[in-house]
């Protein structure tokens, strides 16, 4: 006999509603969109990293029988469209006019009748380049003789992008001066790429009669994109509709506006026909938003007996040719300021210098929680280095220095107000699952028999705290747009509902969790709550999904809207039952939600009955309008601070230096869990990302600025073979300021896992005297470290 | 989606038909077998043939693993998966199964062929070094009949073989000798990745348990996968054991010519050439002993 599990009426484990279409191959992704008369666009990209454009000859391409338009930077310049704003207030060339500044930069585009002809015609465009020396190494970007990249900016004489600092330099210096122990280490978080399975693309359909643009695009932030297109292209905002269909992975890669989207719009305006553009894999990897690329100097000060006193860092940030990162305006270094981690310390200071290089723009991507991935990596490596220096167990050192549960809300030395936490309990839970003491005993035994074919066993720990859910409008905006998110809930007469949200799922399962949020508050089965998202004409305004902000921000809006509806339902129910609203008791069980007269079970009405009354005939109480709807725009008071304890066990083959991840234990505390299954899925994915970054992923460049990571044969994504069976656990410490205490979890594992893996590898290599080695810890790089010559990635 | 340049396409119905088409269409024509090397290059427009001659309809005819007393014959269209799953082949040449377990991934193995692998002649190709290790020879057919060349002569350099543009590889022949076995080991950065370095070893013992002959073939550590005669010379007549493997490893390290790239440093690859030589010789020997 089979039973159909309809899932809970509210929070709890249930299968994802959206998977019905995904597992049947019925998802509708950008590339599934085909409009009558649709043309195809292909982009010609620069083969070199830095060059002056001498000439662009498009005659032969235009003569191709299937080509409808060929557009160059010079043509866009005539229309004032050659440059577009980036999300961080810089500008980026849509098509290069003067120079190309990174390999893969957009130079021209072709619109043709089919994808093949568009691509063929690219080979008929003849571009003459006057090749210039490139800046590839961020460390050399500010050398006096470094070639100038951004000569498009008047008065710019060097490759400096911005400076930023946080914390108290003087107080920190004072602590360092008197500290008994100081440990320093330079470490690189290399450039990586989120590499979503679906690359970026757009279908632009400009109706010349209605003067309306409909743009289907792979965007995580459809509303923000609409506003930017309006501001930049001068199309009135109500004449732009952005639709984000099903998205095959985003991870931050689909936050920025890319030149390709703009080209598709221009192409449609020029031809009067719908135009589709989709990147191929190489284009996505070499030219769209990368992540990380930080060279970090870390310093940690402590007492001999293991009390951490202060942290200091200097970061050299490579932002590529244009500052195309996406971070709240006042936070050019993202949320790197939480680099003090989970520890109660006396002082902290960070300074950051960002530079331009001849590499692709980007920066905030790959589930980094606005650079917290980099911050966590720094502090968790530094704590391990300190443990090594002091000769104490890295777990013990962390336990000694955690912010205590009675210190929350805790204001960090860099001004972040951590909402809630009980770090020691979470750490203990991870130790319990791992069997930490037995693992250390096994390691000691193996080391004793080193040489008899024993693998080098390493145990790595990381404890991360994230700050997610950007953000309060007093502190956070992007290009002047506040980081609030909206939601609109309508309950239909028969008691089903539609929830329209401003955030955009890319695999996180919003259609399920948001339905569960409504279900929990209103007692309407999640199956009966439809979640609409990704269409700016049909959803309220908001800034989209990234930085783990959907549940903290839009999720809060959904809860508040549901509660408003419930309060209105109470008034209507009171009228129906002819009692005072206060005399009604709300209950919810597996059959749904209902109001009963207090103390008299089954005396009342169900939410469905109330819905029918709200829309139906019959009187409503004095002052109550018909309908059962609510609309909310949620401005968070503060951020939420999910955290977790991760333990990784590796075995390294001493002969080949191949690292095998034996076990990985992840205990996450993301506050209240709406759907544990989805939370676990997010964690599994993030841990895989983390293993990928730690062991194999790397976007490298040669000395000419050629990107060496331009295919999935070169840029390696881990498979099921490289990862263990994940061992997950949880503790639940609700956020005090979120309406249901949820904190967000989309990026936790990606942020928290790389240092656990690296710490494990370094721990395994301790007998070789290795203190540090940079990611990616490929066999070759591990072997070099064992030979005593670990080098930063090139 | 990455799209290749325009091509014309024809399916060959027989070996003669394929060779006839190659002859008529000239060197702008290419055979396509599994397509797992050629198609990626075409999509990246690194290869731009004008004509593709599809030989997949010849699979029935050219896919076989025929195990005889003195030699094994394998058809050029035998797919990776067929090599992986052949129990009979694993019994006489376990090196094939060792290698196939770490070549690419199931979709690639379902289509890619032995002939395609050898004709691609990628210096990192695993089956080329397997065939080198086994002292295989290749049967090449042209308009005027067949010729048989040794692996050393087959490999002309990276991506270059003895097969002329109007010829086709038909079969690979492996000599069988008594009291022998073989093994393969590869280090990659991730499952399905090409080798950082790989080594194959084959070993034969005489009736006293002394090494009668031994061969080693390396992949990804030089411009091609030719064998290392010095190892064979050093091991012939010696007692099997760690000393012998260590000496062979040292010869392998000295003989290879790796370059630094994103898969690893030259020093590391050189180290691996030695380490994997040692390991595969040891495994091959253990297998001979176990088999007896
Ligand atoms: C993702 C991926 C991972 C891979 N990993 C590995 C790996 O780890 N190790 C490894 O060794 N290989 C690997 N490969 C290569 C794979 O094994 C290929 O299948 C194989 O190299 C080529 O076989 P094919 O039948 O697909 O050849 P095709 O691509 O069809 O042809 C390759 C070349 O050989 C020619 N050719 C084919 N058959 C004949 C014939 N009978 N006579 C004359 N010329 C012929 C073609 O004209 C072409 O030039 C990988 C490939 C992919 C796509």
CA distances to A126, A515, B274 from B277, in Å: 50, 59, 5
Q: Are residues B184 and B167 part of one domain?
A: no
What is d(CA A230, CA B171) in angstroms, rounded to the nearest whole number? 64
The ipTM estimated for the assembled molecules is 0.96
Shortest CB distance from B187 goes to which of A282, A779, A784?
A779
* Per-residue pLDDT at B291 exceeds 80: no
Residue found under tokens 């199956």: A527
Q: A222-233 vs A259-271: helix axis angle to the nearest 10?
A: 60
In which band, very low, low, confident or very high, does the pLDDT at B61 lie, cut at 50, 70 and 90? Answer: very high
Using one digit for the tens of pLDDT, what is the confidence trace for A31-59?
999 999 999 999 999 999 999 999 999 99
Listed range (A239-248, A605-614, B155-164) with the worst mean pLDDT: B155-164
Distance from CA of A120 to the nearest CA of B (A): 6
Distance, in Å, from the CA atom of B136 to the CA atom of B216, rounded to the nearest integer, reads 13
Confidence of residue A4 (pLDDT cuts 50, 70, 90): very low
DSSP A198-243: S--EEEEEEETTTTEEEEEE--S-HHHHHHHHHHHH---GGGEEEE
Please give the C-alpha separations between residue B83 and each of A366, B63, B69, in angstroms, as whole numbers. Answer: 40, 10, 19
The answer to whether A272 touches A36, Cβ cutoff 8 Å, is no
Q: Closest ligand 1 atom, CA of B170?
A: 41
Residue A572 token pair? 């209507």
- B58 part of a folded domain: no
Tokens of A742: 């949820």
CB A82 within 8 A of CB A95: yes
Verify cis geometry, omega within 30 degrees of 0, for the bond prior to A471: yes
**pLDDT on residue A794:** 78
In a domain, B2, yes or no: no
Instruction: Tell if the CB–CB gap between B189 and A116 is shorter than 8 Å.
Output: no
CA angle A667, A195, B263 (to 5 degrees): 95
Whether A522 and A566 have beta carbons less than 8 Å apart is answered as yes
Q: Which helix (H) or strand (E) holds A612?
A: helix A607-615
Q: Is A347's pLDDT higher than 80?
A: yes
Q: Is B265 on the interface with A (CB under 8 A)?
A: yes
User: How many other β-carbons are positioned within 10 Å of the β-carbon of residue B193?
Assistant: 20
Contact assignment for B190 to A713 by CB distance below 8 Å: no
Q: What are phi and psi of A769, to 5 degrees?
A: 75, 15
The radius of gyration of chain A's CA atoms, rounded to the nearest angstrom, is 27
Residue B3 counted as domain residue: no
Residues B188 and B100 in one domain: no
Look at A779 and B268 and tell me if their CB atoms are within 8 Å: yes
Asked if residue B59 belongs to a domain, the reply is no
Phi-psi region of B54 (alpha: psi -120 to 50; beta: other; left: phi over 0): beta
Residues B167 and B246 in one domain: no
Encoded tokens for A295: 């060279």
Same domain flag for B42 and B92: no
Residue A120 CA to ligand 1 center (angstroms) comes to 25
Residues B119 and B219 in one domain: no
Which two three-digit tokens encode residue A475? 């502190």
Sign of the Cα pseudo-torsion (A734, A739, A740, A743, in order): negative
Judge contact between A607 and A469, C-beta under 8 A: no
CATH number of the domain where residue B252 is located: 3.30.390.50
Q: Are A250 and A195 in contact (CB under 8 A)?
A: no
**Residue range A19-27: average pLDDT?**
96
Q: How confident is the model at residue A676 (pLDDT cuts 50, 70, 90)?
A: very high
- Token pair of B245 as six digits: 């493997």
Question: B188 and B287: one domain?
Answer: yes
Q: Residue B191: which of A700, A711, A721 has the nearest Cβ?
A: A721
Residue B156 belongs to a domain with what CATH number? 3.30.465.10
**A93-129 tens-digit pLDDT:** 999 999 999 999 999 999 999 999 999 999 999 999 9
Three-state DSSP class for B230? Answer: helix
CA distance B1 to chain A (A): 5
C-alpha B159 to ligand 1 mean position (Å)? 11
Domain closes at, from B154, B175, B196: B175
Q: What is the mean pLDDT of chain B?
A: 96
Residue A139: per-residue pLDDT: 98
- Rounded to a whole number of angstroms, the distance from the CA of B256 to the nearest CA of chain A is 17
Q: Please report the pLDDT score of residue A683 as a whole number.
A: 98
- Nearest CB neighbour to B196, from listed A119, A711, A779: A779
Task: Count the domains in chain B.
Answer: 3
| B162 and B260 part of one domain | no
- Quick one: tokens of B171? 């079969």
Whether A716 sits inside 8 A of B3 (CB atoms) is: no
- pLDDT given at position A725: 97
Q: Do B194 and A280 touch (CB under 8 A)?
A: no
Mark whether B138 and B195 lie in a shared domain: no
Residue % of chain A over a pLDDT of 90: 94
- Give the other-Cβ count within 10 Å of A418's Cβ: 23
Residue A204 to chain B, least CA–CA distance (Å): 18
Which residue range forms the structural domain that includes residue B283? 180-291
Tell me, yes or no, if A703 comes closer than 8 A to chain B by beta carbon: no
**Residue A344, both tokens:** 């109660």
Reported as a pLDDT band with limits 50, 70 and 90, residue B1 is confident
Confidence of residue A2 (pLDDT cuts 50, 70, 90): very low
CB–CB of B169/B140 below 8 Å? yes
What is the widest separation between alpha-carbon atoms in chain A?
Answer: 86
- Ligand 1 atom nearest to CA at B30: 47
Q: How many CB atoms lie within 10 A of CB A430?
A: 25
Flag whether B168 is in a domain.
Answer: yes
For residue B104, give the ligand 1 atom closest to its CA. 5
**Token couple for A387:** 């443990």
pLDDT in tens, A472-511: 999 999 889 999 999 999 999 999 999 999 999 999 999 9
Chain A partners within 8 Å of B190 (Cβ): 696, 716-719, 721-722
At A74, list the tokens.
């010079």
CATH code at position B37? 3.30.43.10
The interaxial angle of helices B94-101 and B126-133, nearest 10 deg, is 170
* A538 touches B: beta carbon within 8 Å: no
Q: What is the mean pLDDT of chain A?
A: 96
Q: What is the pLDDT of residues A556-586, one digit of tens each?
A: 999 999 999 999 999 999 999 999 999 999 9
| Residue B144 covered by a domain | yes
A315: Cα separation from own chain's centroid: 21
Whether residues B81 and B117 fall in one domain: yes
A433 touches chain B (CB under 8 A): no
According to the model, what pLDDT value does residue A1 have? 41
Look at residue B279 and tell me if it is in a domain.
Answer: yes
Instruction: Assess whether B13 and B85 both reside in one domain.
Output: no
Within 10 angstroms of residue A305's Cβ, the number of other Cβ atoms is 10
CB B187 to CB A119 under 8 A? no
Shared-domain flag, residues B192 and B262: yes
Calculate how far, in angstroms, residue B24's C-alpha sits from the geometric centre of ligand 1.
Answer: 24
Per-residue model confidence as pLDDT tens digits over A756-769: 999 999 999 999 99
pLDDT of amino acid B225: 67
Does residue B83 lie in a domain region? Answer: yes
Q: Is B101 on the interface with A (CB under 8 A)?
A: no
Same domain, B86 and B34: no
């Amino acid at each position: 006999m089979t039973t159909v599990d309809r899932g809970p009426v509210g929070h709890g484990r249930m299968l994802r509603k959206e998977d019905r279409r995904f597992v049947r191959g019925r998802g509708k992704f950008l590339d599934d969109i085909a409009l009558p008369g649709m043309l195809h666009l292909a982009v010609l990209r620069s083969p070199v990293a830095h060059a002056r454009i001498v000439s662009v000859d498009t005659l032969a391409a235009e003569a191709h029988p299937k080509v409808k338009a060929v557009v160059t930077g010079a043509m866009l310049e005539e229309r004032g469209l050659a440059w577009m704003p980036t999300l961080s207030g810089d500008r980026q060339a849509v098509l290069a006019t003067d120079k190309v500044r990174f390999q893969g930069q957009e130079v021209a585009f072709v619109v043709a009748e089919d994808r093949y002809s568009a691509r063929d015609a690219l080979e008929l465009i003849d571009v003459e380049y006057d090749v210039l020396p490139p800046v590839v190494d961020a460390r050399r970007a500010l050398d006096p003789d470094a070639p100038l990249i951004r000569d498009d900016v008047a008065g710019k004489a060097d490759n400096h992008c911005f400076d930023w600092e946080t914390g108290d330099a003087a107080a920190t210096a004072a602590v360092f001066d008197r500290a008994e122990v100081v440990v320093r280490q330079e470490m690189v978080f290399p450039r990586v790429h989120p590499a979503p399975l679906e690359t970026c693309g757009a279908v632009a359909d400009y109706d010349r009669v209605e003067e309306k643009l409909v743009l289907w695009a792979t965007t995580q932030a459809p509303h923000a994109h609409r506003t930017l297109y309006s501001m930049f292209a001068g199309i009135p905002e109500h004449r732009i509709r952005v639709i984000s269909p099903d998205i095959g992975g985003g991870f931050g890669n689909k936050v920025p506006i890319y030149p390709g989207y703009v080209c598709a719009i221009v192409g449609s305006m020029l031809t009067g026909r719908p135009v589709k553009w989709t990147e191929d894999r190489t284009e996505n990897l070499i030219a769209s938003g990368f992540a990380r690329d930080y060279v970090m100097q870390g310093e940690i000060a402590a007492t001999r007996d293991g009390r951490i006193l202060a942290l200091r860092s200097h970061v050299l940030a490579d932002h590529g040719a244009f500052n195309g990162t996406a971070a709240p305006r006042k936070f050019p270094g993202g949320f790197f300021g939480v680099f003090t981690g989970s520890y109660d310390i006396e002082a902290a200071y960070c300074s950051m210098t960002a530079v331009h290089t001849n590499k692709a723009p980007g920066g905030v991507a790959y589930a980094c929680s606005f650079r917290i991935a980099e911050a966590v990596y720094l502090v968790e490596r530094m704590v391990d280095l300190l443990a090594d220096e002091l000769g104490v167990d890295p777990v013990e050192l962390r336990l000694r220095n955690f912010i205590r549960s009675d210190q929350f809300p805790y204001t960090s030395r860099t001004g972040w107000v951590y909402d809630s936490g009980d770090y020691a309990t979470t750490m203990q839970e991870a130790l319990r699952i791992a069997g930490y003491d037995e693992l250390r005993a096994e390691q000691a035994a193996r080391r004793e028999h080193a040489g008899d074919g024993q693998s080098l066993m390493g145990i790595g720990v990381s404890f991360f705290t994230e700050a997610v859910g950007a953000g309060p409008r007093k502190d956070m905006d992007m290009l002047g747009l506040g980081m609030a998110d909206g939601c609109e809930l309508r309950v239909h007469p028969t008691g089903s509902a539609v929830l329209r949200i401003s955030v955009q799922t890319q695999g996180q399962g919003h259609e399920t969790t948001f339905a569960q949020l409504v279900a929990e508050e209103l007692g309407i089965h999640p199956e009966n709550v439809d979640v609409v998202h990704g269409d700016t004409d049909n959803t309220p305004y908001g800034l989209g999904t990234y930085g783990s902000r959907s549940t903290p921000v839009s999720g809060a809006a959904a809860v508040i809207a549901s509660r408003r509806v419930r309060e209105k339902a109470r008034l209507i129910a009171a009228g129906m039952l002819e009692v005072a609203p206060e005399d009604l008791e709300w209950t919810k069980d597996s059959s749904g939600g209902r109001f009963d007269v207090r103390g008299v079970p089954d005396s009342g009405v169900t939410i469905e009955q109330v819905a029918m009354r709200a829309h139906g005939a019959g009187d409503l109480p004095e002052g109550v309008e018909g309908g059962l709807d609510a609309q909310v725009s949620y401005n968070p008071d503060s951020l939420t601070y999910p955290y977790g304890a991760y333990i990784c066990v590796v075995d390294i083959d001493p002969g080949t230096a191949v690292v095998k991840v034996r076990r990985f234990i992840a205990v996450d505390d993301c506050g209240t869990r709406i759907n544990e299954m989805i939370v676990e899925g997010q964690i599994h994915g993030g841990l895989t990302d983390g293993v990928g970054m730690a062991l194999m992923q790397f976007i490298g460049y040669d000395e000419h600025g050629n990107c060496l990571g331009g295919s999935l044969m070169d840029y390696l994504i881990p498979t099921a073979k490289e990862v263990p069976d994940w061992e997950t656990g949880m503790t639940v410490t609700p956020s005090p300021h979120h309406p249901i205490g949820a904190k967000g979890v989309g990026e936790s594992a990606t942020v928290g896992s790389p240092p656990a893996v690296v710490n494990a590898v370094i721990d395994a290599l301790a007998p070789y005297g290795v203190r540090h080695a940079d990611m990616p810890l490929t066999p070759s790089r591990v072997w070099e470290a064992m030979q005593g010559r670990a080098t930063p990635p090139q | 989606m990455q799209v290749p340049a325009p091509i014309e396409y024809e399916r060959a119905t027989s070996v003669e038909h394929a060779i006839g088409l190659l002859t008529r269409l000239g060197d702008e024509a290419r055979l396509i077998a599994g397509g797992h090397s050629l198609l990626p290059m075409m999509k990246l427009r690194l290869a731009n043939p004008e004509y593709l001659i599809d030989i997949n309809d010849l699979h029935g005819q050219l896919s076989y693993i025929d195990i005889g007393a003195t030699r094994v014959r394998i058809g050029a269209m035998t797919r990776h998966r067929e090599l992986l799953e052949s129990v009979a082949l694993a019994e006489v040449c376990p090196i094939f199964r060792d290698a196939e377990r770490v070549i690419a991934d199931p979709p690639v193995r379902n289509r890619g062929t032995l002939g395609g692998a050898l004709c691609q002649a990628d210096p990192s190709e695993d089956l080329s070094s397997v065939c080198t290790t086994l002292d295989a020879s290749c049967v090449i057919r042209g308009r005027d009949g067949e010729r048989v060349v040794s692996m050393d002569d087959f490999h002309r350099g990276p991506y270059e073989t003895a097969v002329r543009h109007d010829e086709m590889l038909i079969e690979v022949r492996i000599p069988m000798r008594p009291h022998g076995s073989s093994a393969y080991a590869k280090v990659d950065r991730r499952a399905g990745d090409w080798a950082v370095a790989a080594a194959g070893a084959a070993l034969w013992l005489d009736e006293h348990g002394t090494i009668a002959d031994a061969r080693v073939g390396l992949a990804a550590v030089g411009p091609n996968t030719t064998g290392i005669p010095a190892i064979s010379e050093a091991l012939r007549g010696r007692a099997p054991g760690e000393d012998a493997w260590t000496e062979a490893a040292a010869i392998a390290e000295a003989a290879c010519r790796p370059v630094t790239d994103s898969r690893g440093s030259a020093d590391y690859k050189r180290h691996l050439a030695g380490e994997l030589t040692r390991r595969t010789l040891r495994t091959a020997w253990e297998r001979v002993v176990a088999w007896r």
